[in-house]
Amino acid sequence: MSPDTVPGSTPDAAELPTADFFDFGSLLSVQEQRKLQEVREFLAGEVAPYAKDWWDKAEFPAQLLPKLGGLRLSTPTHRGYSNLFAGLVIAEMTRVDTSIATFFMVHHDLFVESLFEFGSKEQQDRYLDDASNLRTTGAFALTEPEHGSDVAGGLQTTARRVGDQWVLNGAKRWIGNGTFCDHMLVWALDESELEAGRKVIRAFIVDGNLPGVARSRIENKIALRTVQNANITFTDVRIAESDRFAGINSFTDTNYLLRGSRLMVAWQAVGQQLAAFDVARQYALERLQFGRPLAKFQLIQQQLVDMLGNAVASMGMMARIAQLQEDAYVDAKGERHGGASMAQVALAKSYCSARMRETVAMGRSILGGNGIVTDYRMAKIFADAEAIYTYEGSFEINSLIVGRNVTGVSAIV
C-alpha cells in the first residue's frame, strides 16, 4: 500500500534522496569515497550521540582526540587527498557538530598547516608528528580585543628580540582551542622594526604554559559552545628564537593561511545547510499536524525545496573552488601560483554563509516551537550558523573584498 493512502504514514527518510542532491560526492575517487564513509561512521558513533550534551554544557570532549587523530585526516591534501575531499570532510563534520569541525579546522588548517608551509625542518621535526596525530593541540592567535577585521593594520601585540630570545607582550581574543592548547601560533609586530618606522610581522610557536601566558575562557556564548574560545594575555613571555617562524615576515603570509581556513569555513556553511535539511525533512515526515505529516503541506515542501536549492548551489560553488585549488603549485623559487584567489574565496564564503543563514532560518521555522530547544538539534544548528556567518571574515568584509576586486576601488580603507 502506498504511504499516501494511510494518514500519518510517510516514506523512510533513509530511502529518499540525500541533501547532496547533485551527487558531488561521486566526483571523489573510490578510495576517497570509502574514507569519507569511514568519517561518516565515526561521526555517527563517536560524535552525534553526545554533541548536544557537550554543547549544552559548553564542555570540550578531550577524550575524543585520540580517536579523532586515529582517522589520520590531518591536513588531508598533505596526505594525498584531493581538495574536494578535504572540503567534504569539513562539511560532514559540520553536518554532525559544528564545534568539532571548528576545533579540527583551527588545529589542522591553521596550526598544522603553518608548520607545513612556514616551519623550518627543525621545527617540523619537533612539532609536526605529534600535532598531526593530535597527541598535542594547537591554536591560531591573531585576533585581538580591539582588532578583528582590521587586525592587519591594527595589530598591537609586540615582540622584541633580546639575544637568542624574544619577549612577547600583548593580548589576543576569540582564540579557538585557546584554553587548553599545547601550542599556539602567535602573531606580533617586531618592536625594534616598529621603532624604526617599519611594520614587520613576526610569528611564534608559543607554549601555552610558559610563564607570563594567562588564558581565560570566553563565557556566555550562544554559538559554538563546545569550542573553547579564550582571551589570552602575554606579559614579558620569553620565546626562543628557534620557535620563531623564519618563513613568516609579512601579513601576506598570514593571508595565505587565512585564505585556506576561509575556504574551510565556506565548506562549514555547506555542512550546516546539509544538517538543517536533514533535520527539517525528518521532522516534517514525522510530525503530525491537522491529522497529517507536515511534509504533506505545500508551504513546508516549498521551504524544503528552497533549503535544498541553497545547499546544492553552495556545494556547486565550493566544488569549483576545489577544482581551482588543484591547479595551485609552488615554483622552484618557492613562489606560489594558481589556485583560487582571495577574492574568489571571499565570494564563496560570503555567498555560502548568506545562503546558510536563509536555510537554517527556514529549518527552524519548520520545527516551530521545537526549533528553539536543543533537544531537536535545529536550535543548535541555527545558533552555530551565526558564528560561521561572522568568523574568518564577516559577510560584510568578504563582500567588500570581492567588491574591491571587481571595481578596482576599495571601500574598506
* pLDDT at residue 152 greater than cutoff 80: no
Enter the pTM of the model. Answer: 0.93
pLDDT band for position 9 (cuts 50, 70, 90): low
* pLDDT at residue 8 greater than cutoff 60: no
CATH number of 251-407: 1.20.140.10
What's the average model confidence in pLDDT over 195-204? Answer: 92
The pair phi, psi for residue 49, each rounded to 5°, is: -70, -15
Which residues of the chain are in CATH 1.20.140.10 domains? 251-407
pLDDT band for position 5 (cuts 50, 70, 90): very low
Distance, in Å, from the CA atom of 160 to the CA atom of 169, rounded to the nearest integer, reads 9
Which residues of the chain are in CATH 1.10.540.10 domains? 24-132
pLDDT band for position 329 (cuts 50, 70, 90): confident
SS3 sequence of 196-246: CCCCCEEEEEEECCCCCEEEEECCCCCCCCCCCCEEEEEEEEEEEHHHECC
CATH class of the domain whose range is 24-132? mainly alpha
Dihedral sign for Cα 47, 42, 325, 319, please. Answer: negative
CATH number of 139-243: 2.40.110.10
Among 9-18, 45-54, 107-116, 342-351, which is the least confidently predicted range? 9-18
| Nearest residue to 124 (alpha-carbon basis) of 163, 160, 78, 68 | 78
**What residues form DSSP beta bridges with 267?**
none
Which residues of the chain are in CATH 2.40.110.10 domains? 139-243
- In this predicted structure, what is the pLDDT of residue 57? 97
Other beta carbons within 10 angstroms of residue 98's beta carbon come to 28
SS3 sequence of 238-288: EEEHHHECCCCCCHHHHHHHHHHHHHHHHHHHHHHHHHHHHHHHHHHHHCE
pLDDT band for position 150 (cuts 50, 70, 90): confident
* pLDDT at residue 331 greater than cutoff 80: no
User: Which residue reads 617599519 in cell numbers?
Assistant: 198
Average pLDDT of the chain? Answer: 93
The pLDDT > 70 percentage for the chain reads 97
What's the average model confidence in pLDDT over 213-220? Answer: 97
